[in-house]
């Protein structure tokens, strides 16, 4: 963990979360992963703009993938934004196919 930060991880109801804060408690980065059988799904990985480029996203991803592996996951899946794609590729993930977003409902304009 880089100096000036602390990371907490916990698992509740099958979801492991990682939260990075500054030593004074301000939000810096987060993410979560859920294991289903041999697969794990990563979600909500985010680094606050003021704390980017300090290795925090990589720290969160390593913590989450280690937790998933400890729970028996051998494969993972995630949907990435263009900004997040570089992070995931540097942590060993690879793109298999593009993702298309779709919305259905009363606010789907």
pLDDT above 70: residue 108: no
Which pTM was predicted? 0.86
| Percent above pLDDT 70 for the chain | 98
Residue 105 φ then ψ, to 5°: 150, -175
List the Cα angle 51/56/57 in 5-degree steps: 105
CATH of 5-90, one of 3.40.50.80, 3.40.50.720, 3.40.630.30, 3.40.1160.10: 3.40.630.30
Tens of pLDDT, residue by residue over 61-89, are 999 999 999 999 999 999 888 888 889 99
Lowest mean pLDDT among 37-51, 63-77, 89-103: 89-103
């Amino acid at each position: 963990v880089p100096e000036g930060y602390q990371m907490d991880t916990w698992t509740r109801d099958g979801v492991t979360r990682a939260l990075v804060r500054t030593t004074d408690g301000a939000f810096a980065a987060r993410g979560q992963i859920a294991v289903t059988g041999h697969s794990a799904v990563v979600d909500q990985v985010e680094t606050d703009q003021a704390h980017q480029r300090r290795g925090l996203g990589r720290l969160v991803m390593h913590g989450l993938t280690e937790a998933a592996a400890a729970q028996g996951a051998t494969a993972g899946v995630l949907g990435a934004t263009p900004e997040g794609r570089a992070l995931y590729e540097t942590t060993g993930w690879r793109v298999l196919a593009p993702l298309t977003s779709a919305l259905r409902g009363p606010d789907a304009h």
